[in-house]
Chains A and B, each alone.
Chain A
Amino acid sequence: SQQGEEDPQALSIQEGENATMNCSYKTSINNLQWYRQNSGRGLVHLILIRSNEREKHSGRLRVTLDTSKKSSSLLITASRAADTASYFCATLDGKGNNRLAFGKGNQVVVIP
């Protein structure tokens, strides 16, 4: 099955800086989603971008999708200490089984 792969896997930044992480996938998709996970807790949905969309914004989040390169990026602007978490991309294929395939995650540490 397809699987997102985030890059880089660990990122440490100062508060106020921007954080960018990337995700690549292997097969055609219906949509791509980003989730955040605070240490040991459940995943929380951040943003969903459909395959016919190229860019989407939500607050300090900006997601891009390039279906020709099978890749996506998540940008967090003006990071805060509370953004410290793991970030996962997940892809939904177009096969109708509703299965999300998750990448291995990016750990982001924002230093106050």
Chain B
Amino acid sequence: EAQVTQNPRYLITVTGKKLTVTCSQNMNHEYMSWYRQDPGLGLRQIYYSMNVEVTDKGDVPEGYKVSRKEKRNFPLILESPSPNQTSLYFCASSFLTGNTEAFFGQGTRLTVV
């Protein structure tokens, strides 16, 4: 089954404690990205990657890091989480052609206290 898998689904952490949210896709997609979703603000892109070892900033990259060492994985790293990073996070993947749909993970609800 074609899918994007994120882990964990829920996470409560404390300010400053480094965390990683994993994302994996099984569709051989070149393009992967991370979004955060906040009430009233919709989905905003954090980082994206067009292929292995190719990453770039989205609209709200501050406080986040990513890596793309393998095609299927695109982890999101918060080196020093802060309460304003409390949000619902989504990983998405698609082919690079652009005229195809994006597949989304089920989301990670992160709370930073």
Give the interface of A toward B (CB within 8 A): 1, 3, 30-31, 33, 35, 40-45, 48, 50, 88, 90, 92, 96-105
Q: Are A41 and B42 in contact (CB under 8 A)?
A: no
Q: Are B107 and A104 in contact (CB under 8 A)?
A: no
Q: Are B50 and A40 in contact (CB under 8 A)?
A: no
Give the interface of B toward A (CB within 8 A): 4, 31, 33, 35, 40-45, 48, 50, 56, 58-59, 88, 90, 92, 94, 96, 98-107, 109
Q: Are B99 and A104 in contact (CB under 8 A)?
A: no
Q: A102-B43, A104-B42 are contacts. A45–B103 as well, Cβ < 8 Å?
A: yes
A96 to B101, CA, bound (A): 15
Residue from A42, A48, A97, A99 whose CB has the most chain B CB atoms within 10 Å: A42
Q: Are B58 and A99 in contact (CB under 8 A)?
A: yes
In the A-B complex, the 3 residue pairs with the closest CB atoms: A45-B101, A104-B42, A42-B104
